[in-house]
């Protein structure tokens, strides 16, 4: 069955970078766009951007442009999101989510908690 | 400030019907873009509840239904159950000169009283 398995929790210092990985199983990563969404404590869901794993093309939310980089390794069926210049208000749960055309985000990773302190 | 506006909270008694609104604009919902709804229990992955305005994925009870009109969409839950207590988010797409971005509502906390 389709699963997205994310890497484990991270604790980072302000100014550092963090990489969160998302390994797809049960389907080929290149068949669907992969998005990243974050949720800060007490806040709602916030879209960060997407990667087209087939081409490597990306689109980032304006808020994160210049700080976020989304990549993929098709041989590992894995996508990675890197966020740099971390600040305390970047403390959040980060989710990867598969998007199926016309169906929204039908599969989500379990989430990765990133604490900046 | 979210692009899509939802009430912060709604509540209802077991068995009752509640609705959650999602108000957008001409650049997102009003432009005809799909609205999707998610159920989210804190600390877990969100779950797709309604896709394409009105469609339920397999396994979602028919107590959940979606609708859309103009620049707004709604999620209705009938026969409210204690297990429905969660956060609910609408999601659509916003079009700008540079392309299309995903947008979420601010989320609505449903309390079953």
pLDDT at A96 over 80: yes
Q: Facing residues of A60 across strands?
A: A49
* C-beta atoms of A104 and B46 within 8 A: no
CA dist., res. A5 & res. A22, Å (int)? 5
CA distance B36 to chain A (A): 6
Predicted confidence pLDDT, tens digits, chain B (113 residues): 889 999 999 999 999 999 999 999 999 999 999 999 999 998 899 999 999 999 999 999 999 999 999 999 999 999 999 999 999 999 999 988 788 899 999 999 999 99
Band (pLDDT 50/70/90 cuts) for residue A89 is very high
Cα-Cα-Cα-Cα dihedral of A101, A102, A106, A108, to 10°?
60
Whether A86 contacts A92, CB under 8 Å: no
For residue A95, give Cα distances in angstroms to A34, A68, A107, A113, B51: 10, 14, 10, 9, 19
For chain B, the distance separating the N- and C-terminal CA atoms, rounded to the nearest angstrom, is 28
Query: What pLDDT is stored for residue B11 in this prediction?
Result: 97
Band (pLDDT 50/70/90 cuts) for residue A86 is very high
Query: What pLDDT is stored for residue B36 in this prediction?
Result: 98
* Mutation target vs A (from B45, B49, B109; most A CBs, 10 A cutoff): B45
- Which alpha helices (H) appear in chain B, and where do they start and end? none
Query: What pLDDT is stored for residue A102 in this prediction?
Result: 86
Strands B108-112 and B9-12: parallel
Query: What pLDDT is stored for residue A101 in this prediction?
Result: 87
Whether A116 contacts A84, CB under 8 Å: no
A37-68 confidence digits (pLDDT tens): 999 999 999 999 999 999 999 999 999 999 99
DSSP-derived letter for residue A9 is: P
Query: What pLDDT is stored for residue B97 in this prediction?
Result: 75
Whether A114 contacts A12, CB under 8 Å: yes
Residue B101 is nearest to which of A61, A106, A109, comparing CB atoms?
A61
Question: Averaged over A3-32, what is the pLDDT?
Answer: 98
Query: What pLDDT is stored for residue B1 in this prediction?
Result: 82
Whether A4 contacts A99, CB under 8 Å: no
């Amino acid at each position: 069955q389709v699963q997205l398995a994310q890497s484990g929790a991270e604790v980072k210092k302000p100014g550092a970078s963090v990489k969160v990985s998302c390994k797809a199983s049960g389907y080929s990563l290149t068949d669907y766009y992969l998005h990243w969404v974050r949720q800060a404590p007490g806040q709602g869901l916030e879209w960060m951007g997407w990667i087209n794993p087939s081409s490597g093309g990306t689109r980032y939310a304006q808020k994160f442009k210049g700080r976020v980089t989304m990549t993929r390794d098709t041989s590992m069926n894995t996508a990675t999101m890197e966020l740099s210049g971390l600040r305390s208000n970047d403390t959040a749960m980060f989710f990867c989510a598969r998007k199926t055309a016309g169906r929204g985000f039908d599969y989500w990773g379990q989430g990765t908690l990133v604490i900046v302190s | 400030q979210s692009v899509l506006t939802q009430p912060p909270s709604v509540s209802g008694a077991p068995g009752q019907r509640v609705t959650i609104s999602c108000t957008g604009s001409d650049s997102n919902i009003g432009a005809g873009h799909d609205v999707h709804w998610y159920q989210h229990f804190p600390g877990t992955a969100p779950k797709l509840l309604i896709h394409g305005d009105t469609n339920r994925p397999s396994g979602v009870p028919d107590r959940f239904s979606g609708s859309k009109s103009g620049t707004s969409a709604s999620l209705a839950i009938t026969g409210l159950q204690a297990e429905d207590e969660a956060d609910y988010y609408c999601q659509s797409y916003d079009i700008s000169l540079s392309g299309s971005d995903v947008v979420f509502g601010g989320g609505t906390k449903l309390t079953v009283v």
